[in-house]
C-alpha cells in the first residue's frame, strides 16, 4: 500500500507503530513505543510512496534505541530538514547543561571559601577538547567537515587543535 493513499497523518503513525511491533517481535526485542518527539517526526517528515521507506526507518530507529522508547533522535536524518530536527532532539537528550550545572555546583561546594581564578578557561578547555576530539574522530580527521559540524571556521578549529595539543590532528 502506498503511503500517499493512507490519507491522514495519523495513519502514518499507526503504520509505523505496526512496523515497530513487527520489528520488536521479529528481532526479539522488548516491546517499544514512540515518544511524542518520534510521533511528531513521523507526521512531519515527507515519506516516499514506498512503504519500505517507512519500514526501514522504523527498524533502524528501533534498533538504535536502547530502552523501550523510540525518540525522534533515533531516526537517521535523510534530508536537511531531518538533520535540524535530529540535532535539536539529540542536543536536548544530551542534557549537557544539566550535567555541567551539577558538576559546577559540586566544584564550588568542594571549593568552599577558597579563592580561585580562571574557572571559565578551565571549564571551556575541558568542554572544547573532547568536543573537538570526538568530532574529528566522527569525520575521520577531516577538519573542514569538523569545522562545519561545530559551526566554526576551519582556521579557528586548527588554532584550537594546536592550543589543546590534540594529537594526530595537527597536520591533517
pLDDT tens for 21-45 read 999 998 888 999 999 888 888 888 8
Return left, alpha or beta for 118; rule: phi > 0 is left, psi -120 to 50 is alpha, else beta.
left
Same domain as 54, residue 8: yes
Q: At what angle do helices 51-64 and 9-27 cross, to 10 degrees?
A: 50
pLDDT of 3 over the 70 cut: no
Which value, to the nearest 10 degrees, does the dihedral of the CA atoms of residues 132, 136, 142, 144 take? -30
Same domain as 53, residue 37: yes
Same domain as 85, residue 100: no
> What pLDDT is recorded for position 152?
95
Which cell numbers in the block locate residue 158? Answer: 586548527
Lookup result for grid cell 535539536:
88
Distance CA 118, CA 126 (A): 13
Asked whether the CA dihedral 60, 61, 65, 69 is positive or negative, the reply is: negative
Distances (CA, A) of 91 to 2, 45, 96: 34, 19, 8
pLDDT tens for 61-110 read 998 888 899 988 888 776 555 566 556 555 555 567 777 888 888 888 88
Residue range(s) defining the domain that contains residue 106: 96-164
pTM comes to: 0.48
Please list, in sequence order, all residues whose beta carbon lies within 8 angstroms of the beta carbon of residue 52, skipping any fewer than 6 positions away.
Answer: none
Same domain as 108, residue 87: no
Inside any domain, residue 10 = yes
57-62 contacts: CB < 8 A, separation 24 or more?
Answer: 58/16, 58/19, 58/20, 58/23, 59/19, 59/23, 62/20, 62/23, 62/24, 62/27, 62/29, 62/32
Same domain as 68, residue 120: no
Amino acid at each position: 500500500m502506498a503511503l500517499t493513499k493512507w490519507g491522514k497523518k495519523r495513519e502514518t503513525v499507526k503504520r509505523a507503530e505496526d512496523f515497530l511491533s513487527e520489528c520488536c517481535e521479529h528481532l526479539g526485542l522488548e516491546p517499544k513505543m514512540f515518544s511524542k518527539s518520534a510521533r511528531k517526526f513521523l507526521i512531519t517528515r515527507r515519506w516516499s510512496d514506498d512503504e519500505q521507506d517507512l519500514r526501514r526507518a522504523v527498524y533502524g530507529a528501533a534498533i538504535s534505541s536502547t530502552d523501550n522508547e523510540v525518540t525522534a533522535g533515533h531516526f537517521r536524518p535523510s534530508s536537511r530538514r531531518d538533520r535540524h530536527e535530529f540535532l535539536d532532539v539529540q542536543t536536548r537528550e544530551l542534557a549537557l547543561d544539566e550535567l555541567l550545572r551539577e558538576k559546577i555546583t559540586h566544584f564550588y561546594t568542594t571549593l568552599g571559601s577558597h579563592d580561585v581564578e580562571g574557572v571559565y578557561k578551565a571549564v571551556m578547555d575541558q568542554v572544547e577538547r573532547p568536543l573537538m576530539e570526538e568530532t574529528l574522530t566522527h569525520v575521520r580527521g577531516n577538519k573542514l567537515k569538523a569545522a562545519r559540524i561545530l559551526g566554526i571556521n576551519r582556521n579557528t578549529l586548527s588554532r584550537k587543535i594546536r592550543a589543546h595539543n590534540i594529537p594526530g590532528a595537527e597536520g591533517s
